[in-house]
């Protein structure tokens, strides 16, 4: 038997090893599948069903025959809905030529990065960052410069760190605002400073704005609203979290028309259109005026208060109140355990699954992330177990 032909450079840039970020989560899934009562706080899955009108539209759209080939850059009905939604965030008109529809925000990031950067280019990304982005960045072949988001600065970036990371090959910067996993929200002033750096060094600014509907402190500003930077800003959005539509794979990228046209060529080559009835359902979701995400925000805010009350005051752990999002970062360094050991022992001893964030980047070391996507009763019980486990590690009988 002979060896097969070789693989492409792009394929070989992607790791075929299991992502270490999800090891504890995978163990928890296995144990729950075996019948154990595991409280899963390790993944950002909303617990609400999608809006009823969305589910109704799915059936109606299929009945109308919306199961055919679709427009490569998105169907008119959803593109127009995205334009209306984004125009409100931008404070200016977003037109169809600015929009490309993608099956989810991660695909949108992949598509836009493959459009604007390539092997040999440099790209800056603050860390910690959403773990699956590692493969997306790797696929592009760019040289990635990670800049730290320090706990002491509430995980907000330093403009000096951003400037220091720039090289003659740097072509783009990718930010997540509101941030995952830390929940930090960039101020308008911070965004203007970042955009000015990108302008001064002729760089693209790409912003993942997935959690924009769930802001608890401060005000969300989209990169689309930065006057004078419209020619270099790209915003990514999705209905996955805001409308509890994770499995629908409904996302978009909004960019200058020239970049949008180039990304459209890539979409033609890769997908040649996404599912029509999914796009129709997304248009219905966006037509509700934001009622559903407002209710979701209030739910997560209630749960956030619950978790903070249950965990605050411990000498063993320090929960960090997020400015946005559906996660809480917990500093576990006082326990003497690193984040991975803490998460593994918590799962083994208290049957609660949390996500150690050191695999999201060095600045996440010593922290675990918990999701608020769980009903209040289960979340309260999980918080009690986390507190009990952590306090026992530093109590009088701890060894």
Tell me: the pLDDT tens digits for 196-228? 999 999 999 999 999 999 999 999 999 999 999
Q: Is 284 helix (H, G, I), strand (E, B) or coil?
A: helix
pLDDT at 216: 97
Question: Binning pLDDT at 50, 70 and 90, where does residue 395 land?
Answer: low
Average pLDDT of span 148-158: 96
**Strand stretches in the chain, DSSP E:** 39-40, 99-102, 122-127, 143-148, 170-176, 204-208, 233-238, 251-254, 318-320, 327-331, 352-353, 355-356, 367-371
**pLDDT reported for residue 399:** 43
Residue 95: what pLDDT?
98
For the residues of 191-215, what is the DSSP string, one character each?
Answer: HHHHHHHHHHTT-EEEEE-TTTT-B
Calpha distance 214→46 (Å, rounded): 12
pLDDT exceeds cutoff 80 at 386? yes
Average pLDDT value over all residues in the chain: 95
- Kindly report, residue by residue over 251-273, the tens digit of the pLDDT: 999 999 999 999 999 999 998 89
Calpha distance 356→32 (Å, rounded): 19
Contact 197/225 with Cβ under 8 angstroms? no
Which of 390, 343, 345, 337 is CA-nearest to residue 370? Answer: 343
Q: How far apart are CA 92 and CA 95, in angstroms?
A: 10
pLDDT-wise least confident of 16-25, 130-139, 232-241, 371-380: 16-25
Say if residue 250's pLDDT is above 60.
Answer: yes
Give the separation between CA 369 and CA 180, rounded to whole angstroms.
Answer: 10
Percent of the chain topping pLDDT 90? 89
Does position 68 have pLDDT exceeding 50, yes or no?
A: yes
Domains of the chain: 11-49+291-391 (3.90.1150.10), 53-286 (3.40.640.10)
């Amino acid at each position: 038997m002979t060896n097969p032909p070789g693989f492409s450079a792009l394929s070989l840039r992607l790791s075929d090893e299991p992502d270490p970020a999800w090891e504890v989560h995978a163990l928890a899934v296995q144990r729950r599948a075996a019948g154990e009562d595991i409280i899963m706080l390790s993944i950002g899955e909303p617990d609400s069903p999608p809006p009823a009108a969305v589910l109704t539209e799915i059936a109606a759209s299929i009945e109308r025959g919306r199961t055919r080939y679709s427009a490569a850059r998105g169907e008119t009905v959803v593109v127009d809905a995205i334009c209306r939604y984004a125009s409100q965030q931008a404070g200016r008109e977003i037109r169809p030529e600015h929009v490309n529809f993608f099956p989810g925000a991660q695909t949108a990031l992949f598509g836009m990065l493959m459009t604007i950067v390539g092997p040999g280019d440099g790209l800056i990304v603050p860390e910690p960052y959403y773990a699956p982005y590692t493969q997306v960045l790797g696929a592009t072949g760019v040289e990635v410069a990670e800049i730290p988001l320090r706990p002491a600065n509430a995980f907000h970036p330093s403009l000096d760190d951003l400037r220091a990371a720039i090289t003659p090959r740097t072509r783009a910067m990718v930010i997540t605002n509101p941030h995952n996993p830390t929940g930090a929200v960039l101020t308008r002033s911070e965004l203007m400073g970042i955009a000015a750096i990108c302008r001064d060094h002729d760089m693209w600014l790409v912003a993942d704005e997935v959690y924009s509907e769930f802001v608890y402190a401060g005000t969300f500003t989209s990169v689309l609203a930065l006057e004078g930077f419209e020619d270099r800003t790209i915003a990514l959005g999705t209905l996955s979290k805001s409308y509890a539509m994770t499995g629908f794979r409904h996302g978009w990228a909004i960019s200058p028309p020239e970049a949008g046209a180039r990304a459209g060529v890539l979409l033609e080559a890769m997908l040649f259109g996404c599912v029509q009835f999914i796009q129709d359902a997304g248009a219905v979701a966006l037509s509700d005026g934001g009622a559903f995400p407002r209710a979701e925000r209030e739910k997560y805010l209630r749960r956030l208060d619950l978790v903070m009350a249950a965990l605050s005051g411990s000498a063993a752990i320090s929960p960090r109140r997020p400015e946005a999002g559906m996660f809480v970062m917990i500093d576990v360094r006082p326990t003497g355990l690193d984040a991975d050991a803490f998460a593994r022992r918590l799962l083994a001893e208290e049957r609660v699954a949390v996500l150690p964030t050191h695999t999201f980047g060095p600045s996440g070391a010593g922290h675990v992330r918990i999701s608020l996507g769980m009903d209040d009763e289960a979340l309260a019980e999980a918080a009690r177990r986390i507190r009990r486990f952590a306090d026992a590690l530093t109590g009088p009988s701890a060894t």
